[in-house]
């Protein structure tokens, strides 16, 4: 028999289930029956439940509800617009920074031996150097500074000319470890010329050796009263003097460089630039001057009839008329 408010009433033609009545013989206590409460859903609830099983509920305001529906409030739309604007601004700034960095790049150059120059040479203070010598820091940035007055380049005592000569051997930077600041080493070759031996005092000259390194912005490093180390085959006289020819090594510490300069960069700048064929294309970026003064130099010049006067012997790393189209390793320093 159909039950009232049943959302799925059975058909009147449907046969009754067979079997005995499960409630047959059930005894109900009267007090229990009167105290029982009805817990069945109402007819409307059962009807809506049956309907919602076939179709999702519809919001009265016209919006269909879904557990996966994204928020579409006016605030979310405002945030989406702000996000798009921020992304566009970020992309524009990135493009501008890229263009600025590309415009600031220096043009490529084939001269790999020339390091960049500092903007300006800052003066420093005079100081004693480790191992001997004096750093004239107050002269940093000065153009044309030399501790000894250099003789003129004309009649500079090249092979075949009268008088003594000083030439540069090898020169470069060396460092023992990453913690070692390093040194610049310069080899010296001293020859008496064709007239006779050159009797030199030890150390090389009463005031030692002077080294100056100059660039387009002025002096970038200097030291004077530097000691020298002689080759093992250099034999002094009985009174401790040296008879040329003499080979010696001068050690120039990086503490003698002006502020803003490093040993490796300066050493690279002492080498003339070359092209792809290893041909020198111009003067070196930095000019290296080495000099010393000894009365024996002036005496031998006067005795040999040299056109150069004075007691100073000097050499540099510049190319002169007798040197042409050679590689940097083969370019000798000139002497005078």
pLDDT of residue 250: 92
CA pair distance 288, 277, nearest whole angstrom: 25
Cβ pair 312, 291 in contact under 8 A? yes
CA pair distance 72, 69, nearest whole angstrom: 9
Cβ pair 143, 218 in contact under 8 A? yes
Confidence of residue 103 (pLDDT cuts 50, 70, 90): low
Average pLDDT over every residue of 173-181? 82
Question: Does the reported pTM lie above 0.85?
Answer: no
Task: Answer whether residue 257 shows pLDDT above 70.
Answer: yes
pLDDT of residue 154: 41
CA pair distance 128, 260, nearest whole angstrom: 19
Token duo for residue 70 = 């994204």
Q: Which of 325, 316, 334 is nearest to 275 (CA)?
A: 325
Helices (H), 259-328: 263-269, 295-304
pLDDT tens for 224-256 read 999 888 887 776 666 666 676 778 899 999 999
pLDDT of residue 201: 78
pLDDT of residue 109: 45
Q: In terms of pLDDT, which residue wins out, 323 or 121?
A: 121
Cβ pair 199, 241 in contact under 8 A? yes
Task: Answer whether residue 332 shows pLDDT above 60.
Answer: no
* Distance spanning both ends of the chain, measured CA to CA: 135
Size (the chain), residues: 336
**Sign, Cα dihedral of 275, 281, 284, 285:** negative
Q: Which of 3, 297, 2 is nearest to 165 (CA)?
A: 297
The three-class DSSP label of residue 51 is helix
Cβ pair 203, 249 in contact under 8 A? no
CA pair distance 180, 65, nearest whole angstrom: 76
CA pair distance 172, 319, nearest whole angstrom: 17
pLDDT of residue 327: 40
């Amino acid at each position: 028999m159909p039950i009232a408010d049943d959302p799925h009433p059975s058909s009147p033609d449907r046969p009754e289930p067979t079997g005995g009545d499960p409630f047959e013989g059930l005894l109900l206590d009267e007090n229990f029956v009167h105290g029982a409460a009805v817990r069945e859903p109402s007819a409307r609830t059962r009807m809506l439940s049956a309907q919602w099983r076939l179709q999702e509920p519809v919001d009265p305001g016209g919006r269909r509800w879904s557990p996966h529906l994204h928020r579409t409030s006016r605030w979310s739309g405002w945030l989406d617009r702000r996000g798009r604007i921020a992304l566009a601004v970020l992309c524009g700034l990135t493009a501008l920074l890229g263009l600025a960095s590309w415009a600031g790049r220096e043009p490529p150059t084939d001269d790999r031996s020339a390091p960049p120059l500092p903007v300006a040479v800052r003066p420093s203070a005079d100081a004693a150097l480790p191992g001997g010598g004096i750093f004239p820091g107050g002269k940093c940035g000065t153009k044309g500074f030399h501790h000894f007055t250099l003789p003129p380049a004309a009649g500079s005592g090249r092979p075949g000319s009268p008088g003594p000569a000083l030439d540069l051997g090898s020169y470069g930077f060396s460092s023992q470890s990453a913690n070692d600041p390093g040194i610049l080493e310069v080899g010296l070759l001293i020859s008496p010329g064709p007239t006779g031996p050159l009797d030199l005092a030890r150390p090389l000259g009463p005031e030692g050796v002077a080294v100056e390194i100059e660039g387009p912005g002025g002096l970038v490093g200097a030291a004077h009263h530097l000691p020298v180390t002689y080759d093992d085959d250099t034999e002094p006289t009985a009174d401790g003097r040296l008879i040329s020819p003499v080979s010696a090594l001068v050690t120039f510490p990086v503490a003698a460089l002006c502020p803003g300069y490093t040993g490796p960069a300066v050493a690279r700048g002492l080498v003339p630039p070359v092209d792809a064929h290893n041909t020198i294309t111009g003067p070196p970026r930095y000019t290296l001057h080495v000099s010393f003064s000894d009365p024996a130099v002036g005496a031998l010049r006067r005795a040999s009839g040299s056109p150069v006067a004075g007691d100073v012997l000097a050499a540099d790393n510049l190319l002169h008329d007798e040197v042409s189209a050679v590689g940097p390793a083969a370019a000798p320093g000139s002497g005078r």
